[in-house]
Structure 1
Amino acid sequence: MTAQNTGLAAAAEKVKLIAAEHAAQADATRKLAPEVVEALREAGFARHFVAAGRGGAQGTFAELTEAVLLVGQGCSAAAWCASLSAYSSRFAALLPREGHDEIWASGPDAFVVTGQPPMGKGTAVDGGHRLSGRWTYVSGVDFADWALLCGVVGEEGRFFAVPRKDFTVLETWDSVGMKATSSHSVVVDDVFVPSHLSFSRTDLVTGTSWSPVESHNVPFQAVGGLTFAAPAVGAAMGALDACVSVLSGKKQAVTSAVDLVRASGQVESAKLLVEQNARVLDDREFTPAAMARNERNVAYAAEVLVDAVGGLVRAAGTSGLAEGGALQRFWRDVVSSSSHVALRYETASVRTYPASLYG
């Protein structure tokens, strides 16, 4: 397909600067500054996949990936939330037409967050369902307008869109990395969800929507862990910049130079892989082999990024681990983000990629 430039990548340059300015504060307070949240909203991350008819950008995966990489160089947590806000709106697009009317009633910039594992239980009632449950690791929930939560109804998995007034947030996120993603727990207690705010999990898996927008009709396997890998790559790019800053003007040992060169190659290779994944999605190359390769790519990228940032810390030496310094923060963030279940070989690719090789 022909890429449509929405201006998101250009706007992300400004977000990068604002996020970088507040990154140390975000790490210390465990939440994004209001200025950063507003910058994400103004840049258009939440509206990126929203239909043009709703005032959205109806953008591409490639431009979103580029924008997330940029923000990640300034603040890993901001990039994580930027990515999740865009992809969660893509999920919300699977709701019936009346659901679109409600989610985006006030405009396309509503922040939607997602609890993907089926941790709730829904009971069918007249006009919809009653939903209860507790969902962990719901990133960006501090500033969410809606939560899209998966629950089980009989034998079926379903997603339910719940407005902010109808769920409680428990501050349970306590990771040593990606501290400011607000990946807390969400609790819903016997809330009525009308039918137009729910859709089958099967629709998400198969990428089936009534909407004609191409990005709303993409199999879940094809996207895979790109949502999480792109922020990790951006963070590693930020770590590379931070390492160079530490080493500039210092006499470098040969070992530092070797570590720096190796890490730069690893970061660049991971960047190329996530960019390839985005092109596959925009080109709608949804063959089993292409989708399996996408899964492999993000798992491999996560693996090499952890090695890369470790090498950058070695290259920088003790000064690179200064409390409050950017390098050690990026290091923790990359290690934390790369542990996500969607970026693990056994989850992302072992079941599918070998089969694509064997034919």
Structure 2
Amino acid sequence: MPEHVVLSRIAAAADQIRAEEETSISERRLSENLTKILRDSGVMRLVQPARYGGYEADPRIFNQAMYEIARLSSAAGWVTGVVGIHSWHLGLYDDRAQQEVWGDDPDTWICSSYGPAGTATKVDGGYRLTGRWSFSSGSPQSSWTFVGGMTDEGDGGGPTYRHFLLPLADYRMEDVWDTNGLTGTGSNDIVVEDAFVPDYRSMDTEDLYRLDCPGRQVNTGELFSIPWYTIFLNAVVVPLVGMARRTYEEAIEPLRERRAATPGWSPLPATHLRLAEAEAEIDTAMLILNHNLGTVVETIAAGDEVSMQLRHRAKRDHIMAVNLAVSAADKAYLSGGPRSIKTASALQRVWRDVHAGQHHAMNVPDLILPQVGDWLTGDVVSYPV
């Protein structure tokens, strides 16, 4: 992995990031100090357009940043993923929207809840939007939001699924986040009541999947030629792999300490087996994610089109990486023995975080893998890739 100033800042702040996790859990949102550390690191600007203070970095660097942060703090890793990727998404929007969000502050955070939970009516110059959306991670620190909604364009073509970008003045956050996993992420509800959203702050998802996006006229770098799902899904799986690595580290360190202090003592062979498998699963998950993303980056750099085969492989391996992370965390949790169940145990807490993240809509195999299977058997693609 190439060196990057953001990765160096994360490494330098590692002890501080880990120390803030308990405060974030107790406050059910990222702590003020942890939020400042992430802002100062620049991690949320890794895949942001250079025109607005971003790094336009290789997305594999963003993957590494998510992974390293999630090893230190589940909440920080998860929010880094789902908020940080929005800097890439906004780069696809009309430049007027980018100017509104980043013109005064390139460190502005955007939360989201992309499910089509809203309803919108087409009006002159835009849409009137109403709805309520759940699971908006990082919402307490954000001053803009992306939400999804269905709208009747009035052209007889049926409802259209669109994304809408709104400032805090046009929505409210309701503090409803009370969970036993990813507790510190502040994933609250977003409520919109008859807000006007101008056309340039809305996008048909079909245009997004085709990358037929106005932002690409001004953000012409290769980063903004990566297909939506191929880059976006990493934001909700790489943090889980980092968390799984944390469970492995929490399980193995006491065993190392006991073995060093007690000559002749050794864990049971089955424990050795589980830990070896857990480490392999974590490494494999990162390898396949970065391999697929790297292949896409190299394909675009060569001026070639990203094939449907590669797009489907990336969607398939996204789910495989989720499964590997969960499996590794389960093995680590079992290897931790009875101490794993203590309330103060970081091992059980992060184990719950991994399982909570598995429930993200894009991490459930029931949705993704049947689409891949359909394509493998010759189906005409009728779903987003």
Shorter-chain TM-score: which interval?
over 0.9
1:278 Cα deviation after fit: 2.5
Structure 1 runs not aligned, ≥5 long: none
The match for 2:275 is: 260
Identity of aligned residues (%): 23
Q: Which moved more, 1:327-336 or 1:346-355?
A: 346-355
Name which of 157, 163, 186 aligns with 2:167: 163
Question: What residue is the counterpart of 1:348 in the other structure?
Answer: 368
Match of 1:77 among 59, 75, 78: 75
- Post-superposition shift, 1:293? 1.1
Give 1:357 shift.
7.0
Encode CA deviations 1:36-76: one digit per residue, 9 max, x unaligned. Answer: 11111121222222211222111121000011110011011
The equivalences for 1:52-63 within 5 A come to 52-63=50-61
Residue number in structure 1 paired with 2:324? 304
What's the counterpart of residue 246 of structure 2? 238
Contact 2:127–2:197 (CA under 8 A) maintained in structure 1: yes
Unaligned stretches of 5+ residues in structure 2: 153-158, 259-264, 380-385
1:356 Cα shift? 3.7
The Cα offsets for residues 235-287 of structure 1, whole Å up to 9 and x where unpaired, read as 01111111122222224222222221121111111121222233134223621
- 1:209: which partner in 2? 213
Q: Which residue in the other structure is 2:306 paired with? A: 286
1:93-114 Cα deviation digits (max 9, x unpaired): 2221111111111132110112
TM-score (norm. length: structure 2): 0.87
Cα RMSD, aligned residues only: 2.1
2:146 is the alignment partner of 1:148: yes
Closer, same or farther: CA 280–343 of 1 in aligned 2, 3 Å? farther
Report Cα offsets for 1:122-174 as digits up to 9, x if no partner: 22222222211111111110110100112222022222211112211122233
User: SS at the partner of 1:187?
Assistant: strand
- Verify the 8 A CA contact 2:30 2:76 in the aligned structure 1: yes
C-alpha distance in 1 between matches for 2:76 and 2:205:
28
What is aligned with 2:285?
270
**Separation in 1, partners of 2:179, 2:141:** 19
CA contact (8 A) 1:115 1:148 kept: yes
Length, aligned pairs only? 357
| Counterparts of 1:226 and 1:331, CA distance in 2 | 20
Aligned position for 1:200: 204
Shift of 1:201: 1.7
Q: 1:264 to 1:6 in 2, by over 3 A?
A: closer
| SS of corresponding position for 2:274 | helix
Is this contact kept in 1: 2:226–2:297, CA < 8 A?
no
Tell me whether 96-105 or 206-215 shows the greater mean CA deviation.
206-215
* 1:288-307 Cα deviation digits (max 9, x unpaired): 11111111112111112222
TM-score of the pair, normalised by structure 1: 0.93
Greater gyration radius: 2
Shift of 1:5: 6.0
Q: Which residue of 2 aligns with 1:125?
A: 123
Runs of 4+ in 1 over 4 A off after TM superposition: 3-6
Distance 1:269 1:214, change over 3 A: same
Could you tell me which residue of structure 2 aligns to residue 29 of structure 1?
27
